[in-house]
Amino acid sequence: MAAPGSVGMNAAKLDQIEQLVLADIADKKLPGAVVIVGRKGKIVYRKAFGNRSLVPTVEKMTVDTIFDVASLTKPVATATSIMILIEQGKLRLNDTVGKFIPEIDDESAKRVTILQLLTHTSGYRPDFDLGEKWTGRDGMLAALKKEKLRARRGRGLFIRILGSLCWGDYRSRRLFVWKASTSRIARFRSSEC
């Protein structure tokens, strides 16, 4: 790490970060945080605070903790990738889940459209059962097959599952984007976004 003064920063001001973060942890506004401050291409402050997990076990935060930014992934990565695929003619808003995931047994679920997924009107609940652990494409498919529509199409939410379908567990190929683009998602994102 560089000395804050070497890049024109005030070390005393940076020292105030710890007190602010610890106060928010004490007030239960957040379980933990990682703060990294850089300037002119140099890191001048890097520190982990609190915990990265509270349930089912408490795990201390580390400076190399990888955060799930799913709330940003939906509008920034998923929707952007889908729009790029639409622009390329590889995907249409009225394409159905069944076109990309024929393994789904529920005929009504197969008729859910990309537009309904993007507008939270597919009829699915907002998320998979978070108590059930799964990884990779096969695990996601098994979990998706168990999911039932909770409302008529045109109502309900599915955007979180859409994010999982498109981005899954960051090591496997993603369904809609992968099947539509026929490339690994990392290559798609770096070459197209």
pLDDT at 128 (0 to 100): 63
Superfamily of domain 70-192: DD-peptidase/beta-lactamase superfamily (3.40.710.10)
Least confidently predicted of 62-66, 86-90, 147-151, 172-176: 172-176
The answer to whether the CB of 147 falls within 8 A of the CB of 127 is no
| Mean of pLDDT values over 148-174 | 46
Q: Which of 71, 122, 172, 191 is catalytic?
A: 71
Q: Report strand pairing: 32-39 vs 59-60.
A: unpaired
Q: Which residue is listed with tokens 């097959």? A: 145
Q: Could you tell me where the beta strands, DSSP code E, fall in the chain?
A: 32-39, 42-53, 59-60
172 part of the active site: no
Domain boundaries of the chain, sorted by first residue = 4-60, 70-192
d(CA 76, CA 53): 25
Using DSSP, state whether 38 is helix, strand or coil: strand
> Which pLDDT belongs to residue 159?
39
pLDDT of residue 123: 82
pLDDT at 187 over 60: no
Torsion of CA 97, 87, 180, 149, to 10 degrees: -10
